[in-house]
């Protein structure tokens, strides 16, 4: 067996102790580290090389270990290795409390160097640069190879207890993957073809877009072949990325199903810090959180315990073991991701410019062996643009008690310049005034110096301003005039808008072995391949619907217009059509609207006859959302009034009697706005149909997703009512699913007759 270990991860895992430091100072140090490293590296004399990879092969109990890392700097001629760390400590504090982890990392590099270069000794230099004043403190020591060798193997011995468990389980794991069979007697129509396409594309190390209609079982059709690919050593791991918690639940239901059928693998659910937290408030300082206090002293014991007892590390399981071992569940889950073959988490962990999973994304060798599965991939088009967009507001600088005169002066300068540049609303431009950029950088530097010197945690409003400015600067590093623009949405607000996320999403995608994008709505393929950054050579596959089209009656009264200007005039007719749909057969229905305002208008009108209204409200909590859905299983009749594109129009299963029918009002085209118009013009200038890219395609995706709630299983039957004259347009019809057979009705009475006939024949 051959192992590959990172020096930094090995040291951090085996030698870390004490508390999690989740205060502002720890976050600031991490953000400042790159800049300070670069500053010292730029000052290296010519004989020094910077950012040098180093590795060597070691053996432990007959096992080959490739130990590797990256040195900040090395002088090969002088036999000296340099390691740089940022700090907020004074020289006296560093002298009194040397950082064992920093020296341990440097010692490992020293040993690798001595072994590779056949040297008996090496000079190790550890340099600290203080954030407050950029003072540099240097510590130098000469070490013998023999001493370094003993140290390195002592560290390896510490980790070996966990590695033995990993090795023992790995044989069982791979054998179970190879032996794994499909968990049902037969595939659903299109499901086997989908699985074969996924497996083949992973083997080819390419990207694949799959349109998998509702009911095909796409979660199983993608996870099953990806896991088989791991078993055949085609891939090393799987990351299942999704944008909704309901989809994560489905992924773990599928993993449990495969486990019941012989799969033995470790999987982990990655949960946002706020959702994972065991405290009433998310305060990660050790003095405020008992789980942060001493976390690293208990971490290895907790990992060994959960690893020996569980295979599926979902949020509930991680929470349970976190309580038992008094560990931070968020950090515990992140550490467990190092030991899992299957990772399940939000898109952010892969694509976000700041919130990505560093343990995975910074380990390029690991990602190059990881198959990326992207569920409900159509959502990533807008999510991707949002991730790389940001905004500064003049009022963000108000109400802050600046602790020094210099901070107040610098902040005022930024605020005044920002206000001067945002007087003209709806203005777009391609470059920022250099003065504003310099002023923001100066304010960031001064805030960093203040935080380094202050004792304790600074004022919360001041830290929020600091991180907001850092986020802004981070986004600017991705700026490209072909894909981004600056925009003034209102006076006093400056936005950086990502209009086309193709390049930034593609950069993340290229780090992986393969990327599989799947959804019930991925047509037009060319549109999604572009917006998702899937690449020009991405393969495409459209699976057929597994259900008989006759199971869904689709009705369309072509005379009804629900355009914004016609909504008051057509309100009576709309209400009547909804009444007939809801009362034609006792059961549960959902009416999908393009906005809360239109939903509320129709709901108010429908009070004349409606006695089963179940209304979606803005800002519902996750508990309220679950209760909303549960009512469809517990009661009848229930008439849901919901918005398209919301949590109830996608990723929700309402099989059998939980849902009898649905209506979709309008094409759900995004509201015309200056921002949307910028998007339209951007794609037009790139040679695409800008209106379709900005309006038509996003709207129809919402329509098809909402309609997909009706038929979820082979035994389901239901009725779909389309209310918008534009559904008669041949260009629109061409974009709707091939298996949709739409019947026009000229009156409520004709619709009633069609529905009665449909149900009599079922």
DSSP for 479-516, written as a single string: --TTTEEEEESSTTEEEEEES--HHHHHHHHTTSSEEE
Whether 258 and 227 have beta carbons less than 8 Å apart is answered as yes
pLDDT value of residue 34: 65
CA distance 129 to 42: 14
pLDDT tens-digit series, residues 496-522: 999 999 999 999 999 999 999 999 999
pLDDT value of residue 29: 52
Average pLDDT over residues 142-166: 91
pLDDT tens-digit series, residues 630-675: 999 988 899 999 999 888 888 788 888 999 999 999 999 999 999 9
pLDDT value of residue 729: 95
pLDDT tens-digit series, residues 374-409: 999 999 999 999 999 999 999 999 999 999 999 999
DSSP category for residue 692? I
Q: pLDDT confidence of 25, banded at 50, 70, 90?
A: very low
Q: pLDDT confidence of 31, banded at 50, 70, 90?
A: low
pLDDT value of residue 24: 45
CA distance 610 to 616: 15
Q: Is 578 helix (H, G, I), strand (E, B) or coil?
A: helix
User: Residue 744 corresponds to which tokens in the numbers above?
Assistant: 């026009």
Average pLDDT over residues 479-487: 94
More confident residue, 373 or 362: 373
Q: pLDDT confidence of 415, banded at 50, 70, 90?
A: very high
pLDDT at 119 over 60: yes
Q: Is 530 helix (H, G, I), strand (E, B) or coil?
A: helix
CA distance 69 to 53: 6
pLDDT tens-digit series, residues 528-565: 999 999 999 999 999 998 889 999 999 999 999 999 99
Average pLDDT, the chain: 92
pLDDT tens-digit series, residues 201-251: 999 999 999 999 888 899 999 999 999 999 999 999 999 999 988 789 999
CA distance 226 to 240: 10
Q: pLDDT confidence of 105, banded at 50, 70, 90?
A: very high
Alpha carbon 448 to its chain's center: 29
DSSP for 381-401, written as a single string: HHHHHHHT-EEEEGGGGTT--
pLDDT value of residue 17: 83
Please choose, from the candidates 72, 45, 54, the residue with its C-alpha nearest in 3D space to the C-alpha of residue 127: 72
pLDDT at 28 over 60: no
In our burial notation (b when 16+ CB lie closer than 10 A, e otherwise), range 201-229 reads bbbeebbbbbbbbbbbbbbbbbbbbbbbb
pLDDT tens-digit series, residues 576-613: 999 999 999 999 999 999 999 999 999 999 999 999 99
User: Residue 530 corresponds to which tokens in the numbers above?
Assistant: 């572009």
3-state SS, 54-116, equals EEEEEEECCEEEEEEEEEEEEECCCCEEEEEEEECCCHHHHHHCCCHHHHHHHHHHHHHHHHH
- When mean pLDDT is compared across 1-15, 337-351, 497-511, the lowest value belongs to 1-15
Please choose, from the candidates 295, 302, 340, the residue with its C-alpha nearest in 3D space to the C-alpha of residue 321: 302
- Strands of 557-622, DSSP E: 589-593, 613-615
User: Residue 348 corresponds to which tokens in the numbers above?
Assistant: 């952010």
Alpha carbon 690 to its chain's center: 27
pLDDT at 724 over 60: yes
pLDDT at 12 over 70: yes
What residue ranges define each of the domains in the chain, with the CATH number in brackets? 2-160 (3.90.320.10), 187-387+502-542 (3.40.50.300), 390-477 (no CATH), 549-760 (3.40.50.300)
pLDDT at 279 over 60: yes
Residues 215, 216, 222: CA angle, nearest 5 degrees: 130
CA distance 594 to 613: 18
Looking up tokens 């208008």 gives 601
pLDDT value of residue 521: 93
pLDDT value of residue 22: 53
CA distance 188 to 711: 14
DSSP category for residue 537? T
Q: pLDDT confidence of 40, banded at 50, 70, 90?
A: confident
More confident residue, 116 or 365: 116
Q: Which residues contact 421 (CB under 8 A, 6 or more apart)?
A: 433, 436, 488, 494
Q: pLDDT confidence of 27, banded at 50, 70, 90?
A: very low
Whether 198 and 208 have beta carbons less than 8 Å apart is answered as yes
DSSP category for residue 208? E
pLDDT value of residue 32: 59
Q: pLDDT confidence of 30, banded at 50, 70, 90?
A: low
């Amino acid at each position: 067996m051959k192992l590959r270990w990172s020096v930094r991860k090995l040291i951090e895992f085996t030698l870390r102790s004490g508390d999690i430091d989740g205060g502002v100072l720890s976050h600031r140090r991490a953000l400042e580290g790159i800049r300070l490293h670069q500053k010292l590296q730029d000052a290296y004399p010519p004989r020094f090389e910077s950012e040098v990879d180093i590795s060597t092969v070691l053996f432990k109990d007959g096992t080959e270990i490739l130990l590797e890392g990256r040195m900040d700097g090395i002088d090969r001629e002088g036999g000296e290795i340099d390691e740089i760390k940022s700090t907020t400590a004074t020289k006296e504090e560093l002298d009194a409390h040397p950082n064992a982890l920093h020296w341990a990392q440097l010692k490992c590099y020293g040993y690798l160097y001595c072994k590779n270069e056949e040297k008996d000794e090496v000079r190790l230099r550890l340099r600290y640069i203080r954030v407050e004043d950029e003072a540099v403190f240097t510590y130098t020591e000469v070490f013998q190879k023999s001493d370094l060798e003993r140290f390195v193997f002592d560290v390896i011995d510490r980790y070996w207890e966990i590695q033995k468990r990993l090795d023992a389980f790995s044989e069982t794991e791979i054998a179970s993957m190879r032996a794994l069979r499909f968990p049902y007697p037969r595939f659903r129509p299109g499901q086997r073809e989908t699985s074969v396409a996924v497996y083949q594309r992973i083997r080819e190390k390419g990207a694949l877009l799959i349109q998998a209609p509702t009911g095909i079982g796409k979660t199983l059709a993608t996870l099953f072949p990806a896991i088989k690919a791991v078993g055949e050593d085609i891939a090393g791991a799987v990351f299942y990325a999704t944008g909704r918690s309901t989809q994560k639940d489905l992924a773990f239901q599928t993993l449990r199903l495969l486990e019941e059928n012989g799969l033995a693998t470790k999987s982990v659910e990655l949960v946002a810090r706020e959702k994972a937290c065991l405290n009433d408030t998310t305060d990660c300082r050790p003095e405020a959180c008992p789980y942060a206090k001493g976390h690293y002293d208990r971490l290895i014991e907790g990992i060994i315990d959960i690893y020996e007892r569980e295979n599926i590390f979902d949020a509930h399981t991680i929470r349970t073991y976190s309580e038992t071992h008094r560990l931070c569940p968020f950090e515990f889950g992140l550490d467990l991701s190092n030991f899992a073959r299957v990772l399940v988490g939000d898109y952010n962990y892969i694509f976000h410019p700041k919130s990505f999973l560093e343990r995975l994304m910074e380990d390029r060798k690991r990602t190059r062996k990881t198959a990326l599965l992207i569920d409900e991939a159509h959502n990533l088009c807008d999510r991707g643009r949002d991730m790389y967009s940001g905004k500064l507001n003049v009022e963000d600088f108000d109400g802050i008690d600046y602790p020094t005169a210099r901070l107040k002066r610098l902040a005022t300068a930024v605020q005044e310049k920002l206000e001067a540049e945002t007087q003209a609303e709806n203005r777009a431009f391609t470059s920022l005034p250099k003065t504003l950029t310099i002023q923001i950088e100066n304010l960031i530097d001064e805030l960093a110096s203040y935080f380094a010197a202050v004792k304790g945690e600074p004022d919360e409003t001041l830290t929020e301003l600091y991180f907001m400015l850092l986020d802004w600067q981070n986004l600017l590093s991705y700026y490209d005039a072909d894909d981004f623009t600056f925009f003034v949405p209102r006076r006093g607000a400056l936005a950086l808008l990502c209009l086309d996320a193709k390049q930034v999403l593609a950069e993340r995608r290229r780090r992986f072995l393969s990327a599989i994008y799947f959804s019930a709505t991925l047509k037009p393929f060319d549109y999604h391949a572009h917006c998702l950054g899937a690449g020009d050579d991405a393969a495409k596959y459209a699976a057929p619907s597994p259900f008989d089209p006759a199971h869904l009656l689709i009705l369309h009264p072509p005379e009804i217009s629900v355009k914004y200007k016609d909504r008051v005039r057509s309100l009576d007719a709309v209400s009547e059509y909804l009444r007939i749909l809801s009362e034609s057969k006792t059961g549960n229905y959902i009416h999908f609207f393009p906005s809360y305002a239109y939903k509320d208008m129709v709901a108010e009108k429908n009070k004349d006859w409606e006695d089963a209204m179940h209304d979606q409200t803005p800002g519902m909590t996750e508990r309220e959302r679950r209760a909303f859905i549960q009512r469809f299983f517990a009661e009848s009749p229930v008439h849901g009034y919901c918005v398209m594109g919301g949590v109830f129009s996608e990723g929700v299963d309402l099989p059998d009697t939980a849902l009898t029918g649905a209506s979709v009002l309008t094409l759900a085209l995004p509201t015309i706005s200056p921002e949307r118009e910028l998007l339209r013009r951007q794609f037009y200038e790139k040679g695409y149909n800008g209106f379709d890219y900005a309006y038509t395609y996003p709207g129809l995706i919402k329509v098809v997703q909402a309609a997909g709630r009706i038929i979820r299983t082979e035994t389901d039957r239901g009725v779909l009512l389309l209310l918008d004259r534009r559904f008669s347009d041949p260009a629109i019809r061409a974009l709707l699913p091939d298996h949709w057979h739409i019947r026009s009705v000229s009156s409520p009475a004709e619709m009633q007759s069609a529905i009665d006939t449909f149900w009599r024949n079922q």
